[in-house]
């Protein structure tokens, strides 16, 4: 077909690409707005009519269906999870959304997602509260403070850490980190026990605090590497403008870098949140697995949707499996919303940046 290779401009414009394992703004070439070229196949090539069914059509169809596969999978996840969740939900004698108990394997199955959903959100939020300031500090260090000699290898190490399997962090949290956290919990309880967050009579240790801190360590590399990229993209001329006004380094960061990077940082934090919400094994190894709603951070306890699936899957019967699938469906919905919001922010920012450039 007389197809014009219309993406040549993209190729030269999108030259900022560096490989990395996370999806990220990849130069102007990825911008959806740069795709408003005329549809292919329209440019008349009257010289020679081609057979309707050629290699070209075949290959094209193959690649289109591969692209569509992504949408198919997302829809299929929802469809199959629903199909297996419904029988369990019908057999459930308790309210799925408000109940805290989890007895799906009983003769009278009764289970509700309230406690584990609460634990999921609580542990993720605490993890982010701990991790985000530190991650932003490291990101700023890498992008604006560290000399290049140090920033490049350190950035590399951060990327490596993002690749370490979660089961390793979980094992570490359980075998090593739980002891200091326990000591810290006892100390907190002794001096700050009057605050409900740190109250209780023990035992302490495998608590929301431990789980959240392990999660924080896991989320840290992701938030760091995404924010670092955003900070590095700050136009040099804006930084110079701030410096030329007599700003100190920190004031320059406040005036030029942070406002520019804000949407990207928000997106990075939300992607980190998505990761924390879905984290399974690290929490299955560190939380105390109880089915109550409590803001107490230090007493043994805590649970999450994903950890509950990993912990109770082994002894689940058919209804039990369905119940776990139903809880997974809720997790899927939550993470889908969080991720879509994060991506929408990134996309809007990219369009904004491209149009400004």
Partner 1 sequence: MAKRIEASNVTSYYGSFKAIDSISMTVEPKTITALIGPSGCGKSTFLRSINRMHEVLPGARIEGRLTIDEQNIYDPDVDVTAVRRLIGMVFQRPNPFPTMSIYENVVAGLKLNGVKKKSVLDDAAEQSLKSANLWEEVKDRLGRPGAGLSGGQQQRLCIARTIAVEPQVVLMDEPCSALDPISTLAIEDLMFKLKDRFTIIIVTHNMQQAARVSDKTGFFSIDKTGEPGRLIEYDDTQKIFSNPSQKKTEDYITGRFG
Partner 2 sequence: MSMMTRSDLAGVAMTPDNIRTKKLPLGVSLLVAVVAFGLAAAIVYGAGIGNWVLVVVLGWILYLVGLFLAASRVEGSRAARNRSWQSLIYSACVLAILPLASVVWTLVSKGVERFDANFFNTSMNNIGARDANGGAYHAIIGTLEQVGIATLIAVPLGVLGAIYLVEYGRGKFANTVRFFVDVMTGVPSIVAGLFILSFWVLIVSPWFNNGQPRFSGFAAALALSVLMLPTIVRSTEEMLRLVPGPLREGAYALGVPQWKTILKIVIPTALPGIVTGVMLAVARAAGETAPVLLVAGGADAINFNPFDGNQSSLALFVYQQAGDASKYAPARAWTAALTLVALVLILTIAAKMLARRNSLTR
- In angstroms, the CA 15 to CA 166 distance is 33
Stretch that binds partner 1, among 111-119, 184-192, 258-266, 278-286 (CB under 8 A): 258-266
CB of 112 to partner 2, least distance (A): 18
Name which position in 57, 110, 238, 292 contacts partner 1 (CB under 8 A). Answer: 238
148 versus 190: smaller Cβ distance to partner 1: 148
Structure-token pair, residue 140: 């700023």
CB of 297 to partner 2, least distance (A): 18
* Contact window for partner 1 (CB under 8 A) among 94-102, 112-120, 249-257, 310-318: 249-257
Q: According to CB under 8 A, which one of 69, 73, 251, 337 is a site residue for partner 1?
A: 251
Q: Which residue has the tokens 């955003």?
A: 230
Q: Is 255 in the site for partner 1 (CB under 8 A)?
A: yes
Please choose, from the candidates 142, 178, 193, the residue with its C-alpha nearest in 3D space to the C-alpha of residue 296. 193
DSSP 240-309: HHHHHTT--HHHHIIIIIHHHHHHHHHHHHHHHHHHHHH--HHHHHHS---------SSBB----HHHHH
- Using CB under 8 A as the binding rule, whether residue 356 contacts partner 1 is answered as yes
Binding segment (CB under 8 A) for partner 1, from list 20-28, 98-106, 215-223, 238-246: 238-246
What is d(CA 284, CA 119) in angstroms, rounded to the nearest whole number? 12
Minimum distance from residue 338 beta carbon to partner 2 (Å) = 7
Assess 210 for contact with partner 1 (CB under 8 A): no
CB of 69 to partner 1, least distance (A): 38
Selection from 217, 339, 227 nearest residue 277 by Cα = 339
- Which residues in the 142-161 window bind partner 1 by CB under 8 A? 147-148
Cβ proximity to partner 2: between 250 and 352 the closer is 250
CA distances from 247 to 230, 262, 295 (A): 21, 20, 43
Q: How far is the CB of 263 from partner 1 (least distance, A)?
A: 10
> Do residues 210 and 197 lie in contact, with contact meaning Cβ atoms separated by under 8 Å?
no
The residue range among 25-33, 101-109, 186-194, 245-253 that interacts with partner 1, by the rule CB under 8 A, is: 245-253
Number of residues that bind partner 1 (CB under 8 A): 22
DSSP 49: P
Told to check if 61 binds partner 1 by CB under 8 A, we report no
Rule CB under 8 A: is residue 243 a binding residue for partner 1? Answer: yes
- Interatomic CA distance for residues 279 and 173, integer angstroms: 14
Cβ of residue 303: shortest distance to partner 2, in angstroms?
14
How far apart, in whole angstroms, are the C-alpha atoms of residue 158 and residue 229?
12
- For residue 192, the partner it binds in partner 2, partner 1, none, with Cβ less than 5 to 8 A by kind, is none
Stretch of residues binding partner 1 (CB under 8 A), selected from 119-127, 180-188, 250-258, 286-294:
250-258
Q: Which of the choices partner 2, partner 1, none does residue 240 contact, using the CB cut-off of 5 to 8 A by kind?
A: partner 1
CA distances to 58, 128, 239, 256, 330 from 262, rounded to whole Å, are 45, 16, 15, 11, 29
By CB under 8 A, name the one of 15, 44, 246, 314 that touches partner 1: 246
In the complex with partner 2, which residue's Cβ is closer, 209 or 346? 346
What's the Rg (C-alpha) of the chain?
25
CA nearest neighbour of 228 among 22, 31, 32: 22
Q: Considering the complex, what minimum distance in angstroms separates the CB of residue 318 from partner 2? A: 9
Nearest to 24 by CA among 287, 261, 248, 280: 261
Q: Which residues bind partner 1 (CB under 8 A)?
A: 147-148, 235, 237-248, 251, 255-256, 259-260, 262, 356
């Amino acid at each position: 077909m007389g197809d014009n290779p219309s993406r040549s401009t993209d190729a030269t414009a999108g030259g900022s690409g560096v490989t990395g394992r996370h999806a990220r703004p990849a130069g102007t070439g990825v911008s959806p707005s740069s795709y408003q070229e005329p549809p292919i196949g329209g440019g008349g090539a009257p010289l020679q009519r081609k057979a309707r069914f050629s290699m070209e059509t075949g290959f094209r169809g193959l690649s289109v269906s591969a692209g569509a596969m992504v949408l198919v999978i997302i829809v299929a996840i929802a469809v199959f999870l629903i199909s297996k969740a419904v029988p369990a939900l019908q057999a459930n004698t308790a309210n799925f959304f408000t109940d805290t108990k989890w007895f799906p394997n009983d003769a009278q199955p009764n289970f509700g997602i309230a406690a584990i959903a609460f634990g999921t959100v609580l542990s993720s939020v605490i993890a982010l509260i701990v991790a985000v300031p530190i991650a932003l500090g490291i990101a700023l260090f890498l992008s604006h403070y560290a000399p290049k000699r140090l920033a490049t290898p350190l950035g590399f190490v951060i990327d490596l850490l993002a690749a370490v399997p979660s089961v390793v962090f979980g094992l570490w949290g359980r075998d090593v980190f739980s002891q200091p956290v326990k000591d810290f919990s006892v100390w907190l309880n002794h001096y700050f026990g009057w605050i409900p967050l740190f109250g209780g009579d023990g035992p302490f240790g495998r608590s929301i605090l431990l789980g959240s801190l392990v999660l924080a360590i896991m989320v840290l590399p992701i938030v760091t590497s995404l924010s670092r990229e955003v900070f590095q993209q700050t136009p040099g001329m804006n930084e110079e403008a701030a410096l030329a006004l007599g700003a100190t380094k920190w004031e320059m960061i406040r005036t030029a870098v942070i406002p520019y990077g804000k949407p990207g940082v928000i997106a990075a934090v939300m992607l980190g949140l998505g990761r924390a919400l879905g984290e399974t094994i690290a929490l299955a190894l560190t939380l105390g697995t109880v089915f109550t709603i409590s803001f107490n951070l230090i007493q043994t306890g805590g649970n999450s949707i994903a950890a509950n699936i990993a912990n109770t899957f082994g002894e689940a019967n058919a209804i039990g499996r369905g119940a776990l699938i139903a809880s997974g469906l809720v997790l899927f919905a939550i993470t889908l919303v969080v991720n879509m919001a994060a991506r929408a922010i990134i996309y809007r920012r990219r369009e904004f940046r491209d149009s400004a450039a």
